[in-house]
């Protein structure tokens, strides 16, 4: 906590250097997020560490049954570059709280943050137990050759598979926080003005470089017309006539991602935006319409400020569309119709769901955050983070009480029909 309190300015500066993150975004989405998580952990840790005493059956009435919370041992935490403080330091704090030693690997794609972490952490935490390793693919490849007791990785599904394969060699348990295309369904019962604000904010915070950003919209043509009309007004209000001049929009992290994104701008027709500037790593907030499911923008996670709209006829159509693709990290549903909400809850699979908002589910401590299928393995946040880094060691403590001994004595030979006649 002291590290966050004493280095808030330095943390914001590193985030501005890596992603041109506005101070407000840096504080809310990273620094304060980390502090809140730590406050919650500190408040609950004594309780979480206590052994659980689960229910007993009659056979164990005289005994004690307990579940002890053991640390795994030495944990490898590999952070991501898009929220590079939060996605690196949050799992680190959880691994420490659960009693593990940690090798921390920040992403080299956000170098200022990686340097800040490597320089600053040793001043605040025990260097014998917690070490930071800097580097890119060769260093990660080397690290993954070693035996760890747990690996926690945040990043793409492609690299997640590499990590999983490396872990498999030693049967190391993993949490893989991965990505994917998170759909966003909007119907005509949703308040279109509030919906558009919430969807655009979720898409444009960090310039769309958010694993839980709504990736694409599924709606009817009628809803699309209203959405685009509202979006034009809102974007003008938020970022002005020339969004490139706004201090509130982050930049694309590097040229590789910039070029990947500009090719996606060619899908469908541009309804809003569409400009880009390679010198400034700037991509204008863009809404694409007339997008076909086979277009390039619908083949991979966008991870940028581009929002395609795919037209469907109704909720059943949307569900069929979603179910024909990889499992999403998050599913966003905007509707007031509870029957439609239930259709999505029961008819689709996703890491998590959020009705009538975007991103905000991530900040609810009591909800586990994680993917399923291609979007990941395991979950964290709040107590789920502590649980991720904890082996649940069951223990039966038998008494020598004669009543208990008699209750269990039918297990001893000589065996007989009578003893198995339940």
364 is a site residue for ligand NAD (CB under 6 A): no
Nearer to ligand NAD, 84 or 243 (CB): 84
Residue of 211, 219, 250, 354 with catalytic role: 211
Stretch that binds ligand NAD, among 37-45, 176-184, 242-250, 309-317 (CB under 6 A): 176-184
Q: Residues 109, 36: contact at Cβ < 8 Å? A: no
Q: From CA 160, how far away is CA 378, in angstroms rounded?
A: 12
Beta carbons within 10 angstroms of residue 316's beta carbon: 12
| Token couple for 38 | 């730590």
Burial of 63 (0-12, 13-18, 19+ CB in 10 A): middle
The residue with tokens 């590193």 is 14
107 is a site residue for ligand NAD (CB under 6 A): yes
Q: In the complex, what is the shortest distance from the CB of residue 235 to ligand NAD, in angstroms, rounded to a whole number?
A: 24
Q: From CA 70, how far away is CA 199, in angstroms rounded?
A: 41
Q: Identify the DSSP state of 145.
A: T
Residue from 26, 93, 114, 178 in contact with ligand NAD (CB under 6 A): 178
Stretch that binds ligand NAD, among 42-50, 151-159, 193-201, 396-404 (CB under 6 A): 151-159
Nearer to ligand NAD, 240 or 296 (CB): 296
Q: In the complex, what is the shortest distance from the CB of residue 154 to ligand NAD, in angstroms, rounded to a whole number?
A: 5
Burial of 168 (0-12, 13-18, 19+ CB in 10 A): exposed
| Residue 177 annotated among the catalytic residues of the structure | yes
| Residue nearest ligand NAD by beta-carbon distance | 179
Q: In the complex, what is the shortest distance from the CB of residue 42 to ligand NAD, in angstroms, rounded to a whole number?
A: 23
Name the helix (H) or strand (E) containing 65.
strand 64-71
| Residue 354 annotated among the catalytic residues of the structure | no
| Token couple for 239 | 């970022």
**DSSP-H helix ranges across 20-134:** 23-26, 32-49, 86-97, 111-124
Residue from 24, 36, 127, 141 in contact with ligand NAD (CB under 6 A): 141
34 is a site residue for ligand NAD (CB under 6 A): no
Stretch that binds ligand NAD, among 152-160, 225-233, 275-283, 288-296 (CB under 6 A): 152-160
211 is a site residue for ligand NAD (CB under 6 A): yes
Contacts of 319 (CB under 8 A, 6+ apart): 343, 344, 347, 348
Binding site for ligand NAD (CB under 6 A): 80, 82, 87, 107-108, 136-137, 140-141, 154-156, 159, 162, 177-179, 211, 301, 303, 329, 371, 376
User: What amino acid positions are annotated as catalytic residues?
Assistant: 177, 211
């Amino acid at each position: 906590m002291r590290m966050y309190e004493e280095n808030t300015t330095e943390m914001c500066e590193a985030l501005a250097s890596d992603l041109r993150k506005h101070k407000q975004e840096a504080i809310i989405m990273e620094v304060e997020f980390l502090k809140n998580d730590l406050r919650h952990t500190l408040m609950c840790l004594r309780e979480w560490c206590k052994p659980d005493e689960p229910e007993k059956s009659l056979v164990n009435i005289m005994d004690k049954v307990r579940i002890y919370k053991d640390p795994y041992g030495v944990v490898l935490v590999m952070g991501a570059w898009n929220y590079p403080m939060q996605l690196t330091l949050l799992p680190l704090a959880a691994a420490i709280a659960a009693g593990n030693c940690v090798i921390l690997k920040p992403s080299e794609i956000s170098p200022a943050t990686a340097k800040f972490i490597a320089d600053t952490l040793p001043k605040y935490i025990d260097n014998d137990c917690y070490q930071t390793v800097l580097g890119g693919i060769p260093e990660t490849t080397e690290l993954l050759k070693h035996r760890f007791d747990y690996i926690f990785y945040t990043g793409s599904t492609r690299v997640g598979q590499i990590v999983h394969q490396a872990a498999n060699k030693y049967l190391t348990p993993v949490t893989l926080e991965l990505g994917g295309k998170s759909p966003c369904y909007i119907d005509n019962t949703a308040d279109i003005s509030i919906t558009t604000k919430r969807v655009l904010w979720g898409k444009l915070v960090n310039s769309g470089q958010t694993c839980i950003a709504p990736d694409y919209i599924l709606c009817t043509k009628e809803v699309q017309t209203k959405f685009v009309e509202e979006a034009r007004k809102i974007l003008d209000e938020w970022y002005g006539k020339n969004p490139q001049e706004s201090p509130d929009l982050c930049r694309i992290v590097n040229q590789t991602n910039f070029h990947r994104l500009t090719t996606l701008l060619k899908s469908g027709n541009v309804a809003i935006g569409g400009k880009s500037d390679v010198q400034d790593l700037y991509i204008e907030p863009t809404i694409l319409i007339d997008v076909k499911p086979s277009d390039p923008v619908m083949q991979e996670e966008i991870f940028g400020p581009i929002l395609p709209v795919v037209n469907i006829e109704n909720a059943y159509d949307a569900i069929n569309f979603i179910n024909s693709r990889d499992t999403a990290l998050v599913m966003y549903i905007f509707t007031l119709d509870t029957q439609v909400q239930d259709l999505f809850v029961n008819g689709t699979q996703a890491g998590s769901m959020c009705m009538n908002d975007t991103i905000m589910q991530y900040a609810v401590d009591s909800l586990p955050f994680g993917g399923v299928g291609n979007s990941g393995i395991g979950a964290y946040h709040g107590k789920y983070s502590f649980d991720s880094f904890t082996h649940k060691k069951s223990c039966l403590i038998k008494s020598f009480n004669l009543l208990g001994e008699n209750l269990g004595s039918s297990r001893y030979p000589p065996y007989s029909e009578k003893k198995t006649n339940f």
